[in-house]
Amino acid sequence: MTQLLRTIGLIFVASCSWLPADSPPQKPAAVDADLAALVHTWLIENHALTGNTNLSDADAARLHGRKVEITATGFKTPWQGSCDDISRDKHDRGAAEISMKLDLTGEAWATVSRFGIGPRATEYALSCADRGHRTPPLTIYVTGDRALTCFGGACYLLTR
């Protein structure tokens, strides 16, 4: 009986020997510095209203505490929905360019400045690579651990 058990054990071990050896766990791909600044789950902390909005402060404030998620390949926002396959465009922008482009003046721009956006920020324009996808592009301005993105006349101030 003992001989039979040994034989069965040897057959079992031999039958498993064809399996490939375990490979060491693969390290995640390194994220380049540009992506490292952008790829985060951002939290909406505050807002500033543009000069051409119909929104009230109360309307914009309803999104405080919500998240804007940006990954290496996609994004998800409370107002635009999501896109899983993006193309990125990147530009360095000065405060005056951002203020003019977004129609933020006076107290609205002061709120953005006090939050920590500027005097220079990196503008990332994220678009769905799939032309059939109806999610609007997302433009986000990043300065360190602070960011700004606008939709519908409200500019949302984000932190990591």
Residue showing tokens 């510095």 = 33
The model's pLDDT over 96-148, given as tens digits with 9 standing for 90+, comes to: 999 999 999 999 999 999 999 989 999 999 999 877 777 889 999 999 999 99
CB 48, CB 104: distance < 8 Å: yes
Supply the pLDDT for residue 19: 46
Residue spans per domain, the chain: 33-159
Closest to 92 (Cα-Cα) out of 152, 156, 155, 34: 34
Whole-model pTM over 0.85 = no
The model's pLDDT over 23-55, given as tens digits with 9 standing for 90+, comes to: 566 655 556 777 899 999 999 999 999 998 999
What's the length of the chain? 160
Supply the pLDDT for residue 15: 54
* 76 backbone dihedrals φ, ψ, rounded to 5°: -150, 125
